[in-house]
């Protein structure tokens, strides 16, 4: 059992983690930039360590400073919270290399799902249905090549995660060229990578998520599914669990597929597997 936990984050998420850690009898360690020296999460922790100036890239996004803070405070485990470095495989590996427990999935699991196109290829091989689309991302697609490469596919997006950022819907071939250009500009600006992929656009999808948990002993369980279809600008507004109006056979397939995903990448900790159901009738899924 560990006795100390550093939270590599700030604000409300850090405070929530501290409350749980205290119930478990753990010593809590906060980190802060110069901008957050008087913040609530700093006051609530048992110890606080300065990690740099106000700019996030020089503090909360600095892997070296966070690892040094863990060493200086004697933290045995590091919780990333959400955002910042929570989905950064390099950070997870740095924690392991420093002899600290990363509270989350192993670096290999994070890396396996970091690229959408790599993840889709791997999941397709494992028997998990995925949306039809181009077999690989490209940074140099012409409009004509895009049409040849992805017949029947009507959307372009950045191949890395981003909460819907950069997706462009193409409803007519004449709109493909400006959509590619717009998606590439945003991808380069937000992710530093202009690679794109094309996927089939589902005009009336249902967005279903399955919560999974896994431990380091090879045990995998799901906690059912939830419907997250009510969205604005690809951001979820309402989640309903269990998902309503799903045939039981389809509900079972979704849950089973989520466990296949978790096992395939060697997942550990809590995670979410997201699916799209094709059409309001929910008779098919992707």
Q: Where are the domains of the chain?
A: 4-104, 132-199, 202-285
pLDDT of residue 100: 98
The pLDDT value recorded for residue 135 is 60
For residue 159, the model assigns a pLDDT of 45
* pLDDT value for 160: 43
Which pLDDT score, from 0 to 100, does residue 156 have?
43
CATH of domain 202-285: 3.30.470.20
pLDDT at 43: 97
Contact 249, 196 (CB under 8 A): no
Rounded CA separation 125/221 (Å): 22
Considering the segment(s) 132-199 as one domain, its CATH architecture is 2-Layer Sandwich (3.30)
Q: How far apart are CA 284 and CA 15, in angstroms?
A: 42
pLDDT for position 285: 54
Architecture of domain 4-104: 3-Layer(aba) Sandwich (3.40)
Please report the pLDDT score of residue 16 as a whole number.
Answer: 97
Look at residue 144 in the predicted model and tell me its pLDDT: 57
What pLDDT is recorded for position 151? 45
| Model pLDDT, residue 142 | 56
pLDDT along the chain (286 residues), means of 10: 96 97 98 97 98 95 97 98 92 98 95 85 91 65 55 44 67 85 80 78 91 95 96 90 95 97 95 86 50
| Interacting residues of 32 by C-beta distance below 8 A, sequence separation 6+ | 10, 39, 41, 42, 48, 49, 50, 51, 59
pTM: 0.78
pLDDT of residue 158: 42
């Amino acid at each position: 059992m560990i006795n100390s936990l550093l939270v590599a984050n700030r604000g409300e998420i850090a405070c929530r983690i501290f409350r749980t850690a205290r119930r478990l009898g753990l010593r809590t360690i906060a980190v802060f930039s110069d901008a957050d020296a008087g913040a609530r999460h700093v006051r609530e922790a048992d110890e606080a360590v300065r990690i740099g100036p106000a700019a996030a890239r020089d503090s909360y996004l600095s892997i070296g400073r966070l690892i040094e803070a863990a060493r200086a405070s004697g933290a045995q485990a590091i919780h990333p919270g959400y955002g910042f470095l929570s989905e950064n495989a390099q950070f997870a590996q740095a924690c392991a290399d420093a002899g600290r427990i990363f509270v989350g999935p192993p670096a290999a699991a994070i890396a396996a799902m970091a690229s959408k196109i790599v993840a889709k290829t791997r999941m397709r091989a494992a028997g998990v249905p995925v949306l039809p689309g181009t077999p690989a991302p490209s940074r140099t697609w012409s409009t004509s090549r895009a049409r040849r490469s992805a017949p029947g596919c009507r959307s372009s997006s950045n191949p890395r995660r981003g909460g819907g950022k950069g997706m462009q819907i193409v409803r007519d071939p004449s709109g493909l060229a400006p959509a590619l250009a717009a998606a590439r500009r945003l991808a380069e600006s937000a992710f530093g990578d202009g690679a794109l992929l094309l996927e089939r656009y589902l005009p009336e999808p249902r967005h279903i998520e399955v919560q999974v948990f896994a431990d380091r002993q090879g045990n995998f369980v799901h906690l059912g599914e939830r419907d997250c279809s009510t969205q604005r600008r690809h951001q979820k507004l309402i989640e309903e669990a269990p998902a309503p109006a799903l045939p039981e056979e389809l509900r079972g397939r979704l849950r089973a597929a989520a466990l296949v995903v978790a096992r395939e990448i060697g997942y550990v900790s809590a995670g979410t597997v997201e699916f799209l159901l094709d059409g309001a009738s929910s008779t098919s899924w992707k």
